[in-house]
Amino acid sequence: MKTLFLSSALALSTLVTAHVVEEAPAADTTFVEIVEITPTGGDVVRHAIKISSLFSDLNEGLITKEEAQAKMDSIISELYLTSASFFENYVPDTVEEALSWNDDFSAAYSGPDSAQYPQEHYDTTFEDFDFDFSSFFDDAPKTKVGVFGFHLGPNALVLSDRSMASAMDNMNAGLSWESRIFFGQKRRIGGVKSPVQFETGLGIASTVFSFKNGMTIDKDPMMFGAANLVPISGLSNVRRSNWNIGTFDVPAVLHLDFSPKGTFDEGLNIGFGVMGRIRYLSQAAYNGSDMDGDFYTQIRTNGFHTRLLNYALVGQLGYKKLKITGKLEQLPYFKDNYFPEEAYLGSITVGFSLN
């Protein structure tokens, strides 16, 4: 029905136009330039709005069903003619611009003949970015390096004349050890060719005294609470008796390192310096069998009148990564008048240094 209506409307429009042209007098003919206006997307949208408004009026009872039908037929006819003309003449607005922009872009970056962006322009631009990662693997001479070290060796209590303290008679020298782990840094003083290096860092150490003859360390009431080595009572058999001291070590050592230029620990090296010590643990423990033959253990945490802070002189001899280190504390290990002897802690350790 709608197709018949649209065809009739178009035929009627054609006949009326032809009839007007035939009846127009020749002498009075006025030539009018007819400008064809191409419908736009907005015209199509306006017809859709009219349809929406029509349904709204019908639902609200503003128009009758017959009036709505007549208006709908009219809108559909106009919409058909408008949309047909619109899509027949439709050309996307962005196509020409996109093609033009693409041509301009291609010309701009086509090579050295470009007037706007010549080849040397973007070649120079990318030269500003350094993509060379060889420095990460460069073996160029260095003036500083990180250091990790581990040392292990026997310790002892010695007197001021460097002779052994009498307390060592009740200790197992072969089981009394000092171990240290160290993290630090070495810096060359005077450039990459200088053999002088300065080492600093932080370490953690464990000093273990192993007692024999059924002895342990305690605060002796017979000596007014001073620290002393005393026999263990209440046990028929003592299997093990140790005294463990934990410290934080802070070394500052000056080295002469005869390694090749810019390298560390690749040749003979000699060091001398000081090491500070902070005690954070002092714990005595022993175990064995009691009088009934049952296993017995006891652990006592106490400073036993040892100094909380101390410092030592350090000497080191090394070849490449291997190091031998001698350390002697400069203050008596125990506080004044709190141990039968004025004893000093010393150690000789063997270890390695990695950088």
* Domain extent listing, the chain: 2-14+36-88, 140-354
- Is residue 101 pLDDT above 60, yes or no? no
Section 116-136 average pLDDT: 49
**Which stretches within the chain are classed as H helix?**
2-23, 41-59, 65-88, 93-108, 119-127
329 DSSP β-pair partners: 312
Q: How confident is the model at residue 27 (pLDDT cuts 50, 70, 90)?
A: very low
- In this prediction, residue 49 carries a pLDDT of 78
- In this prediction, residue 25 carries a pLDDT of 44
Most confident region among 94-108, 187-201, 339-353 by mean pLDDT: 339-353
> Which residues in 220-255 are b (16+ Cβ under 10 Å) and which e?
eeeeeebbbbbebeebeebeebbbbbebebbbebeb
Q: How confident is the model at residue 210 (pLDDT cuts 50, 70, 90)?
A: very high
- In this prediction, residue 111 carries a pLDDT of 53
- In this prediction, residue 183 carries a pLDDT of 96
Between residues 104 and 32, which one has the greater pLDDT?
A: 104
Q: How confident is the model at residue 344 (pLDDT cuts 50, 70, 90)?
A: very high
Percent of the chain with pLDDT over 90: 50
CATH class of 140-354: mainly beta
- Is residue 56 pLDDT above 80, yes or no? no
Structure tokens at 289: 């069998």
Structure tokens at 89: 């003449």
- Of 50-64, 311-325, 335-349, the range with the lowest mean pLDDT is 50-64
**Which stretches within 89-165 are classed as H helix?**
93-108, 119-127
Report CA torsion sign: 192, 198, 199, 201: negative
- In this prediction, residue 29 carries a pLDDT of 44
- In this prediction, residue 63 carries a pLDDT of 82
* Model pLDDT for residues 13-25, shown as the tens digit of each residue: 443 333 333 444 4
Q: How confident is the model at residue 67 (pLDDT cuts 50, 70, 90)?
A: confident
* DSSP letter (8 states) at residue 94: H
